[in-house]
Amino acid sequence: EQHHTHTMMKKQLVPLLISLLSSTSAFVLPHKVERCSRTTTTTLKAQIEESSSLAKRRTFLKYAGIATGWTLSTKISFAEDGVNYKAVADDIEALVKSDPDKGPTLVRLAWHSSGTYDKMSKTGGSGGGTIRFKEELVHGGNAGLADTAVKWMEELKAKYGDGLSYADLYTLSGVAAIHAMGGPQIPWCSGRVDQPVEAVTADGRLPNADVGKPGADKSDADHLRTIFYRMGFNDQEIVALSGAHALGRCHTTASGYDGRIL
């Protein structure tokens, strides 16, 4: 019974963990799919059918006290830049459904693209799509992404052309992957503008797997707070976002660890 309860809580927590991505200004996710306000206010309405499972997730979030207030509706259309983002998302979902192991890696791409954000200097983050550059991919926290998620997205970038920025593609890949894996439809906006290689931030902005002795060590908690406070998160959000590692598994080529996080 205890194992069953743990499994049910884990299933409920996964959407919560991922939904918290929408609380960082580095990963801009308003309540409608629209052009990001920093480039234009033209709205691309995206409205998604609400299911009974999503209603249950909302109830869970309500009692957890950290609901993000999703707004849902029914259809999606083309943006003024000529990109059909619904088609892009569908292609990403098809990729994940053909190989479910790719889903967690795409979430990792979206998160690591966002996780370099600094709320004080307003540098880093997903807004410029800089994780496409080898200078950022060689950062320790990004191990393994160059030959997996970044490579997988190149075919879609070529298919949709210059109208689709890398920054939009990478963030949308995480949103679409979550939905393909049975999670909620996370609000998202287009309009990010790719930045040059000079915008790549220094290594060290992403969290390490551990920094102290193996197991629970105070230095690990201090390290996580340093990393996540810089982005504007509180302790509750740190725990939730760190728990998102329950998606997929550890790979020695990425974190140095192997196996699932339980």
Q: Give dist(CA 161, CA 42) in Å, integer.
A: 21
List the beta bridge partners of residue 35: 190
Contact between 123 and 201 (Cβ < 8 Å): yes
pLDDT at 208: 79
Residue 55 phi, psi dihedral angles, 5° rounding: -60, -40
Helix (H) or strand (E) holding 129: none
pLDDT at 240: 86
Half-sphere exposure at residue 144, Cβ-oriented, CA atoms within 13 angstroms:
16
Query: How many DSSP H helices and E strands does the chain contain?
Result: 9, 0
pTM: 0.71
Q: Give dist(CA 53, CA 241) in Å, integer.
A: 21
Residues of the chain with pLDDT under 50: 1-10, 12, 16-17, 19-33, 37-78
pLDDT at 80: 58
Residue 29 phi, psi dihedral angles, 5° rounding: -135, 80
pLDDT at 218: 76
Q: Which residue has the tokens 């999606």?
A: 76
What type of residue is 29? L
pLDDT at 62: 37
Q: Give dist(CA 181, CA 174) in Å, integer.
A: 11
Q: Give dist(CA 125, CA 141) in Å, integer.
A: 14
Half-sphere exposure at residue 98, Cβ-oriented, CA atoms within 13 angstroms:
7
pLDDT at 98: 97
Q: Give dist(CA 131, CA 241) in Å, integer.
A: 20
